[in-house]
Chain A
Amino acid sequence: MQKLFPAYSTLLSRWHTLAGNPFFWPVFMVAGLLFCVAASAFEILDLYLQLILIYVGINIILTVSLNLINGYMGEFSVGHAGFMAVGAYVASLITIHVFPQGAEAMLFPLAILAGGIGAALVGFMVAIPSFKTRGDYLAIVTLAFCMIVKSVLENIDAVGGPRGMLGMEKLTTLPWVFFWTALSVWVIRNLVYSNFGRGVLAIREDEIAGDLMSVNTRQVKIIAFVVSSFFAGIAGGLYAHALQFINPRMFDIIKSTDILIMVYLGGIASIAGSIIGAVVFTILLEILRPLGVWRMVFMPLMLVLLMIYRPRGIMGLMEARPFMPLRDLITEKIWRRKKKETGNVSS
């Protein structure tokens, strides 16, 4: 690849220098936020494009947070839509019933935060069966959890039962989505590159060996589930206030499947992969809209081909350099130099 396209290798090395620059992220964040504020305030982008970008952001949050459980920890959770539902309902109830009229826009982040905390509490409860069950069995536990959430919501009249909830204002704006997306990506990336995150990876690789290397696997599982469900709740709150309507059927197993597709499309155990997966999936769905029903054939077909030719997803088990901590990059540099000196460069 590098020999065939000289331009590719120059681009790659440029990218690596850029990624190692400590100003890369601050500049990117400020520019992104400014763009989002401008886009929504002066209508640089029309409302349709803005809505798509909002969905992209929400899907990134969902994918990154599910990747923590399914990719980094190597479990198979299908209950992510359940956490999302908790966040959506909690946030909507707060903006409709608790906040004084006229102050909703100002207090909106608090409602989203409350949705996240509500989902995190539920995530804590789901973490407990994960102490004992693994793999397929945990998948069934989370599936059951997803169904419980749906049927509980369908049977509470105060939240509209099966008819769902209406009356939220359109509070989800592009700058807020950008803020929450950046926050979730940042926090989960921080977790992954800490020793707690390495504990999460140890559970995936060999749980018993991890335990015997002093990793408190219960603590790690609680942290992973709480953080993951917290951000699912955040995404749920944003989703409810973007759509201005929620009902229990939106958060069933089909929604979980969508998130799973984004995770496995982008690649397991990769922040960059999660972002790519969410962006590609959301945008493809919009581009393929003219195909009508046939797009629901195209997407699964793409997934089948992906599983055959690239079973770990586009970025499976790899990370783009801007997401790695600088210290790791420096360590890697020293290691590569040493290797070159000893003369056995293999990779």
Chain B
Amino acid sequence: MSLLEIKKLTHRFAGLCAVSDFNFVIEPHELVGIIGPNGAGKTTVFNLITGVYRAGEGSIKLEGQELVGKTPHAITSLGIARTFQNIRLFRELSVLDNVRIAHYGRIRYSPAEALLHVGRFYAEEKRITNQSLDLLSIFKLDDSAGEKAKNLPYGLQRRLEIARALATQPKLLLLDEPAAGMNPNEINQMMEFIRWIRKTFSVTIILIEHQMRLVMGICERLAVLDFGATIATGLPSEIQNHPQVLEAYLGEEVVK
């Protein structure tokens, strides 16, 4: 069974069609990319998958389970985690707490046990803290576990955001412009890093990216959006020479 099945997804913002008739099927362990010019509706697709917006029409199924109409935290608990285009960490909280919050969906103590610190509370807190510290040390962030997230340098903030997303134990990881604002050298590192994440955590990854170097380098399949419409899907090599894609990026005159 495919991991994620998006069928006829359509969403409008007061008449403006942000995404229209988007179809996409993702198999387990794939690494796929969604590209397109600014305002093409890429982030809207992520927001629809994760439940930030409720899809107007169409269906999104994770392992056969319908996601449209579910709340974001329910969808995250089912196994979809994401990062954001403009980093959205809990800035005033410690790096450790940022990761611990992501365990919320799987805590096994009740609010009453939390209020009185009895029962399963201590064992569970110990587990959450240790797992979070382990995750941080995998990401080489354990040295700054007690630091406030806002004090980390930009690159580490990106890394922490991915670590936080992985702490929810997702099956599907959505990366929204992971290489934004990086130089070619850092992009190469980011490519290695994304491949390594997929292998280590055995997750399926969908990424949105503007850096063609990264997209063409690691994605196995691509979907290209323009003004909400899907103009092409296929292998990176096919996309590179697709006439409609060139038109969308470079303009009609140049292509002709």
A interface, CB within 8 angstroms of B: 187, 190-191, 194-199, 201-202, 204-206, 208-217, 219, 223, 227, 317, 325, 327, 331-332, 335-336, 338-339, 342, 344, 346-347
Q: How many A-B residue pairs have CB under 8 A?
A: 126
Contact A206 B88 (CB under 8 A): yes
How distant is B18 from chain A, measured CB to nearest CB, in Å?
A: 17
A-B contact pairs, 10 of them (CB 8 A): A190-B116, A196-B114, A212-B72, A212-B82, A214-B168, A216-B73, A227-B115, A331-B145, A335-B145, A338-B143
Which of chain A's residues has its CB closest to B169's CB? Answer: A214
Considering the chains assembled together, what is the distance between the CA atoms of A223 and B96 in angstroms?
A: 23
Contact B76 A213 (CB under 8 A): yes
Contacts of B128 in A (CB 8 A): 195
How distant is B159 from chain A, measured CB to nearest CB, in Å?
A: 16
How distant is B166 from chain A, measured CB to nearest CB, in Å?
A: 11
Contacts of A344 in B (CB 8 A): 143
Contact of B101 among A202, A336, A347 (CB under 8 A): A202
Contacts of B115 in A (CB 8 A): 187, 190-191, 194, 227
Additional 6 contacts, C-beta under 8 A, given A194-B125, A213-B81, A227-B115: A194-B115, A194-B117, A194-B121, A202-B104, A206-B90, A212-B76
Contact B168 A335 (CB under 8 A): no
Say whether B52 faces chain A, with CB atoms less than 8 Å apart: yes
Say whether B50 faces chain A, with CB atoms less than 8 Å apart: yes
Considering the chains assembled together, what is the distance between the CA atoms of A58 and B184 in angstroms?
A: 61
Contacts of A339 in B (CB 8 A): 143
Considering the chains assembled together, what is the distance between the CA atoms of A209 and B167 in angstroms?
A: 14
Contact B88 A211 (CB under 8 A): no
Q: A213-B76, A213-B104, A327-B125 are in contact. Are A194 and B114 (CB under 8 A)?
A: yes
Number of residues of chain B lying within 8 A (CB) of chain A: 48
Contact of B84 among A198, A209, A342 (CB under 8 A): A209
Contact B91 A205 (CB under 8 A): yes
Contacts of A209 in B (CB 8 A): 84, 88-90
Considering the chains assembled together, what is the distance between the CA atoms of A342 and B165 in angstroms?
A: 27
Contacts of B105 in A (CB 8 A): 214-216
Say whether B42 faces chain A, with CB atoms less than 8 Å apart: no
B interface, CB within 8 angstroms of A: 50, 52, 71-73, 76-77, 81-82, 84, 88-93, 96-97, 100-107, 109, 111, 114-117, 121, 125-126, 128-129, 133, 142-143, 145-147, 151, 164-165, 167-168
Contacts of B142 in A (CB 8 A): 335, 338
Contact of A216 among B104, B125, B146 (CB under 8 A): B104
Which of chain B's residues has its CB closest to A211's CB? Answer: B72
How distant is B170 from chain A, measured CB to nearest CB, in Å?
A: 10
Considering the chains assembled together, what is the distance between the CA atoms of A216 and B102 in angstroms?
A: 11
Contacts of A194 in B (CB 8 A): 109, 114-115, 117, 121, 125
Contact B104 A199 (CB under 8 A): yes
How distant is A130 from chain B, measured CB to nearest CB, in Å?
A: 16
Contacts of B100 in A (CB 8 A): 195, 198
Considering the chains assembled together, what is the distance between the CA atoms of A219 and B100 in angstroms?
A: 17
Contact A213 B102 (CB under 8 A): yes
Contacts of B84 in A (CB 8 A): 209
Contact B114 A215 (CB under 8 A): no
Considering the chains assembled together, what is the distance between the CA atoms of A205 and B92 in angstroms?
A: 7
Which of chain B's residues has its CB closest to A215's CB? Answer: B104
Contacts of A191 in B (CB 8 A): 114-115
Which of chain A's residues has its CB closest to B88's CB? Answer: A209
How distant is A138 from chain B, measured CB to nearest CB, in Å?
A: 20
Contacts of A199 in B (CB 8 A): 101, 104
